[in-house]
Amino acid sequence: MPTPTPPFRADHVGSLLRPAAIKDARPKFFAGDMSAEELKAIEDVEIPALVKMQEEVGLKCVTDGEARRTFWHYDFMGMLDGLDIETRDGSSFVGFKGVELPPVYPAITDKLDFPDDHPMLDHFRYLAEHTNVLPKISIPGPSCCHFRTAKKDIRVKEYLDDEEALFADLVATYKKAVQAFYDAGCRYLQMDDIFFAYLCDPKHRADKEAEGRDPDALIRKYGEVLHDAIKDRPDDMFIGMHMCRGNFRSTHAAEGAYDLAAESIFSTGVDIFFMEYDTDRAGGLEPLSLLPKGKQRVLPGFITTKTPELESMDWLKAKFDEASKYVDIDQLGIAPQCGFSSTEHGNAVTEDDQRKKLELVVRCAEEIWGGV
């Protein structure tokens, strides 16, 4: 059978709840009681089961659930040349609603580059060997390396003296990453570039202004960087882009409509947009009117991954009726609002809840478009 080709009507963002065996093993690994090889052996057993679940619910595109990662972004970033993830005891990182992330911080310590042996290339290859449909991998977008790194943690004089040099190296690093994943067989690469949405949040905008930055100029710059990083990709490679407002143990870290960023978002040259839309925090659907007519597709995340309750089909159809006022229904599809486990901790849902949510994604696509 030929491998399915994106874009799909039914898709998902990427991360899945970590299986119990992996959740039990990881603390042992970090405590030094388990080797990296032993942990990998457990992951190698559990990931094919995650893939099988996705295939069973009817998805034509699968991920490894990000099961080898602690964080959706820091693992990838820390594997780049020139970027380290540092743990600082006695401090907290990003404050979510009622919870805090572990105290880990990115630091740019040398010239940025994408190494030829980046471990996630092998993560993708393993996934591709264990699926009968299309394998997809999600990585943090280039804005993450900038937005998440405090100026005091940029220790490269060239970057401090000339921020454009930092952005240029981010473009070069990600161009190299895109080609490396393509050479590894990847034809569907997703970038989680959530900070477009963060920069629509009044609090985050105020924080950037306090740093002496123009948040609107930063939105435009992030759009340019992503555009330049992916513009030379091979013709048969699809790029997805996920945006949300934070996802840690079913909490969030930002809110605000897409209006301020929509023009930049839809100018990136990305093929498939995953846009959080499960609550009023995301604002209205009006920004979808800025999507150019053509082949690009938006997958509104009306189905939440933060709670177990299933959305009704009638409600989902009504949401798509509303969305179709702003964008042709043929340029729409359905995906959950975010991953189920953006960090290894996971959201407040069960594996059964997770499966039912993905089944709902598939059923919704079948009822509205006649297939996935």
pLDDT greater than 90 at residue 244:
no
H helical segments located in the chain: 20-30, 36-57, 74-78, 119-129, 142-147, 157-161, 163-183, 195-198, 202-210, 215-230, 262-265, 313-323, 351-369
Secondary structure (3-state) at 19: coil
- At which residue do the structure tokens 């597709």 appear? 297
Return the number of other C-beta atoms located less than 10 Å from residue 351's C-beta.
16
Please indicate whether residue 251 or residue 325 has the higher confidence score (pLDDT): 325
Please, what is the average pLDDT of the chain?
93
Per-residue pLDDT band at 347 (split at 50, 70, 90): confident
User: What's the gap between Cα 174 and its chain centre?
Assistant: 15
> Quick one: fold of 20-369?
TIM Barrel (3.20.20)
Nearest Cα to Cα of residue 75 among 37, 104, 111, 45 = 104
pLDDT greater than 90 at residue 280:
no
Number of helices and strands in the chain (H, E): 13, 9
Exposed/middle/buried for residue 62 (C-beta within 10 Å: 0-12, 13-18, 19+): buried
Distance in angstroms (rounded) separating the CA atoms of residues 276 and 278: 6
Distance in angstroms (rounded) separating the CA atoms of residues 19 and 28: 15
pLDDT greater than 50 at residue 215:
yes
pLDDT greater than 60 at residue 180:
yes
Distance in angstroms (rounded) separating the CA atoms of residues 143 and 192: 9
- At which residue do the structure tokens 């994408």 appear? 114
pLDDT greater than 50 at residue 233:
yes
| 300 beta partners | 275
Residue extents of the structural domains in the chain: 20-369
pLDDT for position 98: 46
